[in-house]
Structure formats: structure tokens, C-alpha cells
Homo-oligomer: A and B are copies of this chain.
């Protein structure tokens, strides 16, 4: 019957998670993880931080920003075990994001693959031709976008 939660030091978290201590402080700064402090001002982490970190790192590997991750994790309670509905909310919002990214990747890959099939020497009818659709809402810059990819060479 452990009443004391057995907190982890930053060094232990770094070692166990594989995340450098510098990054741990950085994540804390950005609100992705939390710690409590000892009387001497040292960080102590709940074990649950390890799972959060695994989450963060995995999400980053697939191209999500720390801000995305922070927003998602913000839906989970800091101080209690997440309920099923906590999970459902997080999961739903992530799923949409992940689905969108998977979809974009598929389209990119399939277009490329399609180009092998079509030979791509005459691109006028090639699937790649319409790839431009993708940038319609891409960041700042010139307004947009007469779809002007004519047949020719890449």
C-alpha cells in the first residue's frame, strides 16, 4: 500500500525516457510536462511523465509540433488518473489530426507511385499535375494560384 508516490528525479526521468534533461526543462517551460519541487527546489516527477514523454516524442517523430502536443495533452488532467472520457476527448482530437496527415502522405505517395505507372514522360495527363491543389491554403505569401502546371519536365 504505497502512500508515497515515489517521485523521480530529473536525472532518472532523463535516463528512463531517453529524453535529455535539457529537453525536460524545456518541455516543462512550454507546459508539456509538470513537476513538483522539493524543499530544496529540485524537480520531482510522477512516473506518469514517462508516458507523456513517450507520447510527445512519438508525436514529434510524425511531424506534430510541441504546441499540437501540448494542446492535446492539456485535455488530460494533471493531478488525477484520466477517466475514460478524458481519453476519448484526447483521442478524438488526435485521431482527426493523424488521419489528416496520413491522408496527405497517402496522396503524396500515390501520386508519385502513379507516375511510375504512367511513365511521366508526357505529364499532361499525369496525376502529379494536380498536386498543386495541396498548397491552396499554405501559409503567407503571394495570394494564390492559377493552376498553371503545364505539360513538360519536372
Which A residues form the contact surface with B (CB < 8 A)? 14-21, 23, 46-48, 50-52, 54-55, 57-59, 61-63, 76, 80-84, 87-88, 90-91, 94-95, 98-99, 101-102, 104-106, 108-109, 112-113, 115-116, 119-121, 123, 128-129, 131-132, 134-136, 138, 140-146, 148-150, 152-154
Task: Please state if B63 and A62 are interface contacts (CB–CB under 8 Å).
Answer: yes
Q: In whole Å, how far is A113's beta carbon from the nearest beta carbon of chain B?
A: 6
Known: A19-B142, A81-B153. 9 other contacts (CB 8 A): A16-B146, A17-B145, A51-B123, A51-B154, A54-B135, A84-B119, A91-B112, A91-B113, A94-B109
Q: A16-B148, A58-B135, A91-B116 are in contact. Are A109 and B105 (CB under 8 A)?
A: no
